[in-house]
Structures are given as C-alpha cells and as structure tokens.
Amino acid sequence: MKRIIVDYDKLTSNILNLLVAKYPDGYDYDDIISFQNSEGKTISAVEVRTIDTIYLVKISRKLEDTMDQFIEDENSFDDNDFDNFNDTNF
C-alpha cells in the first residue's frame, strides 16, 4: 500500500471528497497523526484511504477553510434550485 503525504497546495478534488466524507463535521484532536519528516520537522496530518493508497493530508488553516467551503457549497442547494426541472428534461 502506498503512503502519500499531501500538502494543501497539491490537494485534489478526489482527496477533498475523501476528507469531507470521513470528517463531515471536521476532524478533532484524536484524528490527528503527528510524525517527523525526513528533515526532522514535526508534521501533523489527518489520514484518508483508498483501496491502494493512504493519504496523510497536512493540517493547515487553508485545509480547514477549504473543507468548510466545500461543505457550504454542497449544502447551498435547496429544493427551490430544482423547481425549473422535471422528469421530461432528462
């Protein structure tokens, strides 16, 4: 199984979807993994997995903001957004 450390700058929509699915209400202290990288710096990350890969996503304020924005965008639709559609439109 591959292990990949992902920084906010390299965050893909696929990984963001995995993060939001695993942590819909955000992550808390128990979800955080801390380790030292090859340069001896302590890194804090949260883990998400696919069938063949473990992603360790570095925690940053930008990550939290992006996850919050993603959730807001998904929740911004309501039933009125679909009033102009009916089954014959598909």
The predicted-structure confidence for 26-81, as pLDDT tens digits, reads as follows 888 899 998 888 899 888 899 999 999 999 998 876 666 676 676 677 665 555 54
Residue 88 has pLDDT above 50, yes or no: no
- Least reliable range by pLDDT among 4-8, 34-38, 65-69, 84-88: 84-88
Q: Which structure tokens are listed for 28?
A: 């808390």
Cut 0.75: pTM above it: no
18 vs 62, higher pLDDT: 18
Q: Which structure tokens are listed for 45?
A: 């990350």
pLDDT at position 67, please? 67
For range 6-22, the mean pLDDT: 88
Residue 90 has pLDDT above 50, yes or no: no
CA dist 42 → 21, 35, 54, 75, 77 (Å): 26, 5, 19, 35, 40
